[in-house]
Amino acid sequence: MNLKVVLVFLALSLITIFALAYILLTSQGGSSQPPRCPSVSPSAQPRTPPSQSQLFADLSPEELTAVMSFLTQQLGPGLVDAAQARPSDNCVFSVELQLPPKAAALAHLDRGSPPPAREALAIVFFGGQPQPNVSELVVGPLPHPSYLRDVTVERHGGPLPYHRRPMLGAEFAQMWNHLKEVELPKAPVFLASVFNYNGSTLAPLHATPSGLRSGDRATWIALYHNISGVGIFLHPVGLELLLDHRALDPARWAVQRVFYLGRYYADLGQLEWEFKAGRLEVARIPLPLPDGASSLKSRAPPGPLPPLQFSPQGSRYSVRGNLVTSSLWTFTFGHGVFSGMRIFDIRFKGERVAYEVSVQECVSVYGADSPKTMMTRYLDSSYGLGRHSRGLVRGVDCPYQSTMVDIHILVGTGAVQLLPGAVCVFEEAQGLPLRRHHNHLESYFYGGLAGSALVVRSVSSVGNYDYIWDFVLHPNGALEGRVHATGYINTAFLSGGEESLLFGNRVGERVLGAVHTHAFHFKLDLDVAELSYRTALTMPAVEIQKESEEPRIGPRSTRYQLVVTRRKEEESQSSSIYYQNDIWTPTMAFADFINNETLLGEDLVAWVTASFLHIPHAEDVPNTVTLGNRVGFLLRPYNFFDEDPSIFSPGSVYFEKDQDAGLCSVNPVACVPHLAACVPDLPPFFYQDF
């Protein structure tokens, strides 16, 4: 055979061998790639048909739209979209679920009776009537409304005065517009020279309540430097204005007083005159830097990602609509526009533990030597704890594999708003055994259970603060409510005197971190016999105010750590959104719930307040951290079960000395290296709540 032909054949043979080897190696490499872990649903499954969970489900977009259409038909063409409403207009402020009566709900859940009519509660501002007022209207049945019932007098004992109405976003905008167009032009030289004001570099923060007596609607407004991407809350400039905005016509609004560096002035015109005359002491405040101390941009280059929690065998719970189910717990959740997170019909292994566990109020009371801060008593339900539940960030606000649930609301505008991913549900690995024992007396064995819990979470970003609300359900039948405070602190301008530091600490060049108290109020409607569950508070030690002492300016519900009352439909809430703007003549008084009534053998509700004192310090800049700023309650079974129910948890571990603990058949934890060889099936990251 020709030598050239032989060489060609050899070359082709080598090429063929290399090609086959490459194919073999790559195919083996492909098969050796770890398999995908069982998928975990990154979002809730569609709503269920009308059933157990639908009793407490938030109104759907279709239901909200149907209610608005019905109200527009019934209330006439004079109805204005709340987003553009003036105080003299009629507008629908909010629409949300009207919770069913408990007796009717239980008759349906436990005895198979027909479900109670599904209804909505609408709050309407009637600013255009001869006697302006706020009305509460029940609309039903849904999804096709045909009736409207005014329940204002029934619930509040009479008409609701118009000055008690919560602030519309439109009213806040009109207030700032009045200051920018009418008041600030009275001091152009002072504002430009001292604060570098150019028409956009100042922003307002309001105090509440608005006034000092019932009927007032006059608000202290402090000005802060405003630079895009920088938290305004850490940049007070020392100028505060008292705006009277009670008149229904914004043209009649006027600034009553001005406060600057410890002195009061009649108006900004006087301040401008004294500045030009050289008679005014000033503190020139430069504009904050975009990457300065108040920025949340990282100060470090990117590094390794934090640990990731995932479920190698798939999720151990399911979310369908608002119904959450695991092998131990079932419950439904809701999201009140004003009160925020709430869960219903909470059952452990099929037995109801509680009918309702819900947030009622979130209060912060401040102190300082400037009028805006010393006046501040925020009752955040009036702003809307649910309304301000913004989209959660996967992997930061919630574990990456959490189930994200969208919320739809209608408040402050005539259109339905989507809050994408505003609630997350997940199983929390706690990194701590729930129970364990290593026995070495007489016999040798180990038994334990890794701590985990089912969590439903939302975060309310109300102004400067972010409140992280969790309801936590444990495998031993315990139920926990907890709240973490984070976000920016509320600050005041530090005028320079030592007396100012009596109200907090210096956290910036001329910035006072103002001392304040947080109080969080919960409703626990337990459905367990006698004393089979006990309530414990998780909070720092606090001083309790005696009944004989002069009441503080704040909701009476927060004076008591624990109150137990008989359950009444007319006492369904401990606070009111109308309290914020008239704390002197409250629409409802929680103290009236406490009347020495007989509790034995009755359906009872526990009202719990958890609180803490916050004295801001330098490490609260740029944000307060969640660590150390957590309070809540814990409901623990007490002779409710015959034994610790967590002993039935499928993840329990037990092995003896003569057993091979490395075998999956003996110890389920031994399977982890094999199970963890799969690749987590993670959903792509996206965020759409801006």
Mark whether 444 is an active-site residue: no
Tokens representing 23 are 């194919």
Rounded Cα distance between 508 and 512, Å, is 7
Q: List b or e across 416-429, with b for residues whose CB sees 16 or more CB atoms inside 10 angstroms.
A: beebbbbbbbbbbe
3 state SS for 596-640:
CCCCCCCCEEEEEEEEEEECCCHHHCCCECCCCCEEEEEEEECCC
Give ∠ CA 554-556-558 in degrees, rounded to 5: 80
Tokens representing 458 are 């939302």
Catalytic residue among 58, 345, 369, 380: 380
Rounded Cα distance between 424 and 469, Å, is 11
Burial (CB count <10 Å: 0-12, 13-18, 19+), residue 168:
buried
Catalytic residue among 197, 355, 378, 465: 465
Rounded Cα distance between 260 and 280, Å, is 10
- Asked whether 143 and 63 are in contact (CB, 8 A), the reply is yes
Mark whether 465 is an active-site residue: yes
Contacts of 575 by beta carbon, 8 Å cutoff, 6+ apart: 360, 361, 379, 381, 521, 555, 557, 590
For residue 679, the cross-strand partners are: 36
Contacts of 248 by beta carbon, 8 Å cutoff, 6+ apart: 86, 87, 88, 127, 132
Which are the catalytic amino acids?
380, 465
